[in-house]
A and B are shown apart, each in its own frame.
Chain A
Amino acid sequence: QVQLQESGPGLVRPSETLSLTCNVSGGSISPYFWSWIRQSPGKGLEWIGYVFYSGSTYYNPSLRSRVTMSVDTSKNQFSLKLHSVTAADTAMYFCARGGGRLRYIDYWGQGTLVTVSS
């Protein structure tokens, strides 16, 4: 059974970079797409983008200018960086499998809450 676990700071200061890592266990990073999704308090789910196991990426145009995703196949991990954060980036962040090129989201992490505050 594939399991995903997010890790990273729960508090980030405004204008800084939010950095999260997702550890994948019970399966290989290859040959899948890996997504990040967030849910702001009281709001809906927003897909941030995906990284393919090869390293290619696609980002939601709404966040494209501030997002960087990467993958480390040797560690079975993938990562998210969101630059220049504001309070509007406070959300529960989920990592997930799928979301690229006609692939549904089939496995999710439990999510990690990130608060942007000084």
Chain B
Amino acid sequence: DIVLTQSPGTLSLSPGERATLSCRTSLSVSNTYLAWSQHRPGQAPRLLIYGASNRATGIPDRFSGSGSGTDFTLTISRLEPEDFAVYYCHQYGSAPLTFGQGTKVEIK
């Protein structure tokens, strides 16, 4: 299985600041089959990014994804109050599909 390692585990930031989240994979993810989702308590998780850098429908442009091979990044350019949540990456290029352990973005 491909292991995904997210860092940091927790990011403490203020609204308006920039968030940079990392997702590293144990093997190269073919064709950038890497996605990011946002998880908030009591809500259905939401897809943000697929194919490493493509924003899902309706996702604000303050969210951006980049990377290839084994090193991927999710950037939130200016944090809004609703962005404080847990973010997970998942790879879907190799079965079984696997997730990172998550990065919690909390209010400083």
Contact = CB atoms under 8 A, between A and B. Distances in A.
A44 B45 contact: no
Given A45-B88, A47-B99, A61-B96, A108 B45 contact: yes
Given A104-B35, A105-B35, A105-B37, A99 B45 contact: no
B93 A102 contact: yes
A108 B35 CA distance: 14
B37 A108 contact: yes
Interface size, A (range):
20 to 34
A2 to B, nearest CB: 10
Contact of B44 (A35, A47, A110): A110
A101 to B, nearest CB: 9
A35 B96 CA distance: 12
Contact of B92 (A3, A60, A98, A108): A98
A35 B35 CA distance: 15
B50 A108 contact: no
Given A104-B33, A105-B37, 17 more contacts: A4-B44, A44-B101, A49-B96, A58-B95, A98-B92, A99-B92, A99-B97, A102-B93, A104-B35, A104-B47, A104-B92, A105-B35, A105-B97, A106-B56, A107-B47, A108-B46, A110-B43
Given A60-B96, A99-B97, A105-B37, A110 B42 contact: yes
B45 A47 contact: no
Contacts of B45: 94, 108
Choose among A4, A62, A103 the residue with the greatest number of B CB atoms under 10 Å from its CB.
A103
A8 interface: no
A89 B5 CA distance: 23
Given A105-B90, A108-B45, A47 B96 contact: yes
A102 B92 contact: yes
Interface string B60-92: 000000000000000000000000000010101
A109 interface: yes
A108 B44 contact: yes
Contacts of A37: 99
Interface string A2-31: 011000000000000000000000000000
